[in-house]
A and B are shown apart, each in its own frame.
Chain A
Amino acid sequence: MSDVKKFLYVNRKAPYGTIYALESLEVVLIGAAFEQDVALAFLDDGVYQLTKGQATEEVGMKNFSPTYKALGDYDVNKIYVEKESLDARGLTLDDLLPLTYEDEDDDWAEKDSIRVVSAAEMAEIMDQADVVLSF
């Protein structure tokens, strides 16, 4: 398994206003099939992608936010959200979707996928990645 690489998907755009958020999610789901070490980073306006309570009926667009909840089933369970970006937008962890996964190394215990990190920690995460895909 030495050919497993650390993939980091960097999300910096709000959902719906542009296509970046949806495209990123689709690429993540496709990439998940290749059994790589996948992590997602949400910073700047990207943190808006994970907010709870999105309801798109009146704007006639597909609400893709429930799809984030499926990421755990694809072994995508490292979801880093930058604290500085949340703070600037008046958001807290409570405003975000409760994303979880079942840990196969811990008797399938349900655990949180979202980890709120500082900008400095995010910089380390970016630095450590083998492949960075930006959206």
Chain B
Amino acid sequence: MSQLHTVNKSPLDRNALESAVLHATKGSAVLMIEDGVYGAMQGTSKSSIVNNAMGDVSFYVLGPDLKARGIDEDRVIDGVEIVDYSGFVELVAKHATTQSWL
């Protein structure tokens, strides 16, 4: 079983997303939550972090945190799956371990 990595920091403020993706093995998942959801936006100076790893790693973003921050779903990078809280729980249950990149 693979790992779930959660990231809750903005990639424009901290390197948590960058480091999580660097340490995510093929087939593992990265879930962006809280301020981490800015990492799922298209057209930012850090969008390449997700774009470049797409395919090797599955990317998810928490919908309620996107909405709180006024990020429209159509600005999310193609291929990033938007999940709700129960989707978050399913991801945790589906993976052997969860690592939080704080």
A-to-B contact residues, CB < 8 Å: 13-18, 44-45, 48, 51-59, 61, 63, 65, 87-90, 95
Contact = CB atoms under 8 A, between A and B. Distances in A.
A42 to B, nearest CB: 13
B31 to A, nearest CB: 15
B38 A14 contact: yes
Interface of B is mostly: loop
B35 A55 contact: no
B88 to A, nearest CB: 12
24 contacts: A14-B13, A16-B65, A16-B69, A17-B8, A17-B34, A18-B35, A44-B13, A45-B13, A45-B38, A48-B10, A48-B38, A48-B69, A53-B72, A55-B68, A58-B64, A58-B67, A58-B84, A59-B67, A61-B68, A63-B68, A65-B70, A88-B44, A90-B43, A90-B47
B61 to A, nearest CB: 13
A50 B98 CA distance: 33
B11 to A, nearest CB: 10
Given A14-B38, A16-B34, A16-B35, A53 B12 contact: no
Question: Contact size class for B?
Answer: 20 to 34
A71 to B, nearest CB: 18
A14 B8 CA distance: 12
B51 to A, nearest CB: 13
Interface of A is mostly: loop
A90 B41 contact: yes
B69 A89 contact: no
B21 to A, nearest CB: 19
B53 to A, nearest CB: 19
B23 to A, nearest CB: 22
A90 B44 contact: yes
B76 to A, nearest CB: 12
Interface string B10-27: 101100000000000000
Contacts of B13: 13-14, 44-45
